[in-house]
Amino acid sequence: MAVELIPHELRARVLAEVHARPSASMDAPRRILHYAFMTDGEAAQRDREALAAFCTSLGLEGPGAGAKHHRVAFSGTLLRWESHSEFTTYSWEFGDASVTDAPAPQPFRPAVDGLMGVMRLVPQPGPLMVAADLHLLPAEALPKGPQGVFGDVHLAAATVEGGSATIATDFRTDAHGFVRILVVDNGMERTQAGAIVQRVLEVETYRTLTLLGLPEAQRIGPSVRKIETDLPLVMSAMERSDGLARNRELLDRITGLAAELESGAAAALFRFGATRAYSDLVRLRLGALEEKALAGTDSWSEFLDRRLQPAIRTCASMEERQANLSRKLTRAAQLLRTRIDIELESQNRDLLRAMNERARIQLRLQQTVEGLSAAAITYYISGLIFYVLRGLQEGGASAVDPYVGTAIAVPIVLALILLLVRRLRKRHMDEDEHETTRTKEEDRR
């Protein structure tokens, strides 16, 4: 009896990811219009639903819920749709027989404006970022080679995968906003052609997205430079600062600089991370092509390295500057907080000393008042005793002289009152000591 094992909830998704976005087999000639649109989660969902509705209207199967890629053919056109984390791509593939009646295919003929209307069949999912016009042609269709197609421009051209194909582009946009890419078939297999075309389009897409980090670095550059200028001034003021109010003012300035820095760093965090990831993908795709530059031209790797690396280094430098500034601001804030804490402790010590002095004076005053109070109470009790003795003498009930009796009673009364005051004081001290001990035990718990 087979044992049914409970799979992980993500197992099917992880296994399917290995087969995601497979390359399609193709042969020359082929014409591909490739678009990439920036989309967030909501826009990607709306786009998936719009594409599904479009396919349904043609009686074709659309992408399923949560699908990341879909392929559909209609009217001699093949559409490959892919949804990525922050962009969506549409690749419209045409066979030359479907777009021209010429006996032999011509590079980038017919003009792209006669083909780009297919993108209007579905709603635009987001802002357009990439538009590439790729033409896959057999070598015999290009007697003059790639230079005869692009003219006298700085061309990036190379043979790939052992000379089985030649790729060429000037990375410039034409009058319709497309970057023209030429792939020459020097004897490729159909699957090999599909893989090369896919990698070339990915290079064009990822190299464009890589450069999105540069405007972000340029945007936050003035703010970082301002913080780099202000921080030494604050540090210099810290050396001369004296007093709690001045240190608190400097701490407020440092906190403000730190908040401004962290706000810019948080806003650029994703973009700079994406720049690193896209640049790695460009490098990997170009490495998989195994380029060898044509005579008199640069390979794609050489061409892009000179243009992408300065932008990538700018983003990396900006990240490093932000990180260094963050560490310096943190240390400066800690120093100021330590200085403020020391000043507060000094003030508290002086305050406690003053409170102790006031308590000592109050205790002396209290002792003085207690002595005067004892004397006053003795006086009033002695007066009562005098009146009692005098009344007894006048009534004949006692022969004791009131003055003598009062004189004898005064020291006794005074001693009793002092003894009572001492006992009350001791009782209060015991109660205070007990309360202090109980509070310490509660604090320890």
In the predicted structure, residue 377 carries a pLDDT above the cut 90: no
In the predicted structure, residue 211 carries a pLDDT above the cut 90: yes
* Total structural domains within the chain: 3
pLDDT at 401: 77
**Same domain? 228 vs 318:** yes
Mean pLDDT of 312-323: 93
pLDDT at 272: 93
**Same domain? 61 vs 177:** yes
| Lowest-confidence pick of 88-102, 251-265, 282-296 | 88-102
Report pLDDT digits (tens) over 19-48. Answer: 666 677 888 899 999 999 999 989 999 999
Would you say residue 219 lies in a domain?
yes
pLDDT at 22: 65
**Is residue 204 very low, low, confident or very high in pLDDT (cuts 50, 70, 90)?**
very high
In the predicted structure, residue 434 carries a pLDDT above the cut 90: no
Share of the chain above pLDDT 90, in %: 43
pLDDT at 197: 94
**Same domain? 239 vs 368:** no
pLDDT at 20: 64
**Same domain? 158 vs 50:** yes
Would you say residue 5 lies in a domain?
no
**Same domain? 275 vs 249:** yes
Mean pLDDT of 91-120: 78
**Same domain? 232 vs 374:** no
**Same domain? 84 vs 135:** yes
Report pLDDT digits (tens) over 128-142. Answer: 999 999 999 998 888
**Same domain? 300 vs 179:** no
pLDDT at 67: 83
Would you say residue 334 lies in a domain?
yes
SS3 for the chain is CCCCCCCCCCHHHHHHHCCCCCCCCCCCCEEEEEEEEECCHHHHHHHHHHHHHHHHHCCCCCCCCCCCEEEEEECCEEEEEEECCCEEEEEEEEEHHHCCCCCCCCCCCCCHHHCHHHHHHCCCCCCEEEEEEEEEEEHHHCCCCCHHHHCCCCCEEEEECCCCEEEEEEEEECCCCCEEEEEEECCCCHHHHHHHHHHHHHHHHHHHHHCCHHHHHHHHHHHHHHHHHHHHHHHHHHHHCCCHHHHHHHHHHHHHHHHHHHHHHHHHHHHHHHHHHHHHHHHHHHHHHCCEECCCCECHHHHHHHHHHHHHHHHHHHHHHHHHHHHHHHHHHHHHHHHHHHHHHHHHHHHHHHHHHHHHHHHHHHHHHHHHHHHHHHHHHHHHHHHHHHHHHHCCCCCCCHHHHHHHHHHHHHHHHHHHHHHHHHHHHHHHHHHHHHHHHHHHC
**Is residue 374 very low, low, confident or very high in pLDDT (cuts 50, 70, 90)?**
confident
Domain residues for the domain of 368 are 359-427
